[in-house]
Amino acid sequence: MKVTMERRQFLTASLAGLGGIVFASDLVRGRAAWAAGRRGEDFFFVQLSDTHWGFNNPAINPDFAGTLPKAIAAVNALPHKPDFVVFTGDLTHTTDDDKERRARLAKFRELSRGLKVETIKYLPGEHDASLDQGAAYHELLGPSRYTFDHKGVHFIALDNVSDPAAHLGDEQLRWLADDLKQQNHAARIVVLTHRPLFDLAPDWDWATPDGGKAVELLMPYHNVSVLYGHIHQENHHQTGHIGHHAAKGLMYPLPAPHSVPKKAQVPWDPAHPYQGLGYRQIEARAQQMELALTELPVPKAKDSPAQEQVVKVTAKKFEYSPRVITLKRGVPAVLQLTSLDRRHGFNCPGLNLQAEINPGSVTQVKFTPDKVGEFPFHCDVFCGSGHDQMEGAIKVTE
């Protein structure tokens, strides 16, 4: 078994800003309270975002008509069918022509129905809804805000795009408050939205002016994650105990916040086609009280939908997240290890893996699991009184 390790500078400063392929969002504050009530079941769903159907600039994406169908085909080819798929906004590219807007939304709806899932959830983006306050979107795709429950998780979809100024608005905030009053403070809650609810980069229009009010309403609830789009890249941010996770887009990437003087679409790189584009698989793990976010690329024609198993693992006193890593035998794997507090270790004797984990950097462990079984791992750098309990397992299946 070949094992290689390499380290790259950890670029994001926020507590949960772990740029990469997979991110495990801990939902642990209410673990004891949740355990006393209904735990729910494991399930997974897929997030697609910023498809921009109707965009037609070949310098930015010469496959503008093929990227969405490729992503749909990749989702349909996943080894297991998702419980549902959610699109988090900018389904179509903006147009001043009301008739063309409806035509684009109708074509997008037709394409999306090619997904082999029973349920598809939609949210608008500003490209879909800001010019007509969501009229065409509501006509063709339904409500722009709603709630639903699935296997022990309460989902809340918010509309921060139909208002041209990107406000949620007092009426929607009252609606959110009324819905939350019906939830136990230990309930698992996932908020779906298009724009970030925090001020990521207001000068780049990457904010919701009254998003902080929504976050304040959510704060008393212990297990909350927010999934959004809009910024065309993976980004992770923590507001207190609430994790905010942006997904990549499917038409063109945008630069990292304030990494360049002016926000602009990133041109197509012929040497690396579809670079920066992708979709996300979210596994809701009831036992571990976490969401495992897996970033998947748009496959090129010769690619299979998933070339590599990549799992991001965070360490802190005295636990790993996720605690159980599930991999397939014979498929190359990458563990991306980082610490949220101090130096830790990662030692998995059964697979001959060992690495040091440091805050402010990511250690990559690359290997191909060649045997089936469950292989315990533990921290081999003393980190305090709970050090002996800092352990987990890699589960390798056929």
Structure tokens at 392: 């987990």
The residues that bridge with 44 in the sheet, in sequence order, are 283
What is the Cα–Cα distance from 93 to 259, expressed in whole angstroms?
A: 24
Residue finishing a domain among 280, 307, 334? 307
Structural domain including 372 reads 320-397
On whether both 224 and 370 belong to a single domain, the answer is no
Does residue 3 belong to any structural domain of this protein?
no
Claim: this prediction has a pTM higher than 0.85? no
Residue 35: pLDDT above 50?
A: no
The CATH number given to whatever domain includes residue 73 is: 3.60.21.10
What is the band of 329 on the pLDDT scale with cuts at 50, 70, 90? confident
Instruction: Write the pLDDT tens digit of every residue in 193-226.
Output: 999 999 999 999 999 999 999 999 999 999 999 9
In a domain, 10, yes or no: no
Any domain includes 26: no
- Which token pair is 47? 């997030």
* Per-residue pLDDT tens digits for 340-383: 999 999 999 999 999 999 988 899 999 988 889 999 999 999 88
- State whether 104 and 199 are in the same domain: yes
User: Domain for residue 55, yes or no?
Assistant: yes
Answer yes or no: is 95 within a domain: yes
Note whether 196 and 340 are same-domain residues: no
Show the 3-state SS of 82-146. CCCEEEECCCECCCCCHHHHHHHHHHHHHHHCCCCCCCEEEECCHHHHCCCCCHHHHHHHCCCCE
Residue with tokens 């063309």: 100
In a domain, 360, yes or no: yes
Question: Which residues 6+ apart lie within 8 Å of 308 measured at CB?
Answer: 331, 332, 333, 334
Tokens 């939908």 belong to which residue?
305
207 part of a folded domain: yes
Number of domains present in the structure of the chain: 2
Is the same domain home to 144 and 277? yes
Torsion of CA 236, 293, 92, 66, to 10 degrees: 120
Q: What is the pLDDT of residue 301?
A: 60
Averaged confidence pLDDT in the chain = 87
151: in domain: yes
Same domain assignment for residues 288 and 363 = no
Residue 352: CATH number of its domain: 2.60.40.420
Determine contact, residues 116/76, Cβ cutoff 8 Å.
yes
